[in-house]
């Protein structure tokens, strides 16, 4: 990921102007010694695979939203604290939003050695697209010329075979968003949110401005945030 510090700094700056937040270290290792300065904290995709992982801390991020919930801001705050603690990977622990004005996200942070990080990267899907919908209601989207509905509080998954492309379109009274995703050898999975997503503002990945979507109706998502979001949706089922 390019410029992770800038992305997190911008998100946290926005949080400070709109939200009253609290980040708390619930538990931390008594033996962990910070190895080096972490430049990125990635999602750990297989909790059963702990070889090469060293526990760092469990961190809770809570906020009182003045306007609406923003899960992405909670995530950014927790990840920033985890990075400062020396972690370079995280696992989802829990998310509570029974009180809609005081959501709380808890993540477990670890330090992964180079071999572990490589295994984690190798597990990533290739040439797959995930499209997240709205909270509370299905939302329509045109995919390859056919209108489909993204289920409420869920997502759609599309494989993009080599030599093909996936065309996305979201129209509206004041314009719309369109774009095409072409399959490439070794291309990592991509994640998108359709406008109106109820869990809060999405975290765009660095470099996403180069995509062909012409408005914010279809928004690229940070892959590590998106994978955590899948865990939250599984928790709710």
The pLDDT tens digits of the residues spanning 39-89 come to: 899 999 999 999 999 999 999 998 765 444 578 889 999 999 999 999 999
Going by C-alpha positions, the residue among 231, 211, 216, 198 that lies closest to residue 91 is 231
DSSP string, 137-172: S-EEEEETTEEEEEPTT-EEEEE--TT-EEEEEE--
In this predicted model, what pLDDT tens digit does every residue of 188-197 receive, in sequence order?
A: 999 998 864 4
pLDDT at 101: 63
Percent of the chain with pLDDT over 90: 49
pLDDT at 214: 42
In this predicted model, what pLDDT tens digit does every residue of 89-105 receive, in sequence order?
A: 999 999 988 766 678 99
pLDDT at 99: 63
Q: Once rounded to an integer, what is the mean pLDDT over residues 209-234?
A: 75
In this predicted model, what pLDDT tens digit does every residue of 12-26 receive, in sequence order?
A: 445 444 456 789 999
Distance in angstroms (rounded) separating the CA atoms of residues 20 and 22: 7
Report the helix count and the strand count for the chain, using DSSP H and E.
4, 13
**Under 8 Å CB-to-CB from 105, ≥6 apart: which residues?**
60, 61, 62, 71, 74, 75, 78, 94, 95
């Amino acid at each position: 990921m390019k410029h992770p510090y800038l992305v997190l700094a911008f998100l946290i700056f926005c949080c400070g102007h709109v939200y009253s937040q609290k980040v708390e270290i619930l538990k931390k290792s008594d033996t962990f010694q910070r190895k080096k300065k972490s430049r990125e904290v990635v999602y750990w995709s297989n909790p059963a695979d702990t070889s090469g992982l060293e526990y760092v801390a469990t961190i809770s991020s809570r906020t009182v939203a003045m306007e609406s919930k923003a899960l992405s801001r909670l995530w950014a705050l927790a990840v920033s604290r985890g990075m400062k603690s020396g972690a370079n990977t995280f696992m989802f622990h829990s998310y509570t939003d029974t009180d809609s004005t005081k959501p709380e996200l808890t993540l477990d942070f670890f330090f992964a050695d180079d071999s572990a990080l490589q295994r984690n990267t190798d597990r990533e899907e290739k040439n797959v697209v995930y499209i997240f919908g709205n909270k509370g209601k299905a939302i329509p989207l045109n995919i390859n010329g056919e209108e489909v509905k993204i289920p409420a509080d869920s997502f759609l998954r599309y494989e993009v075979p080599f030599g093909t492309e996936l065309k996305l379109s979201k129209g509206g009274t004041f314009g719309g968003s369109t774009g095409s995703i072409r399959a490439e050898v070794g291309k990592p999975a991509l994640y998108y949110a359709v406008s109106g997503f109820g869990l809060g503002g999405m975290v765009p990945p660095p470099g996403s401005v180069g995509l062909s979507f012409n408005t914010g109706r279809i928004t690229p998502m940070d892959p590590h945030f998106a994978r955590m979001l899948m865990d939250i949706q599984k928790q709710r089922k």
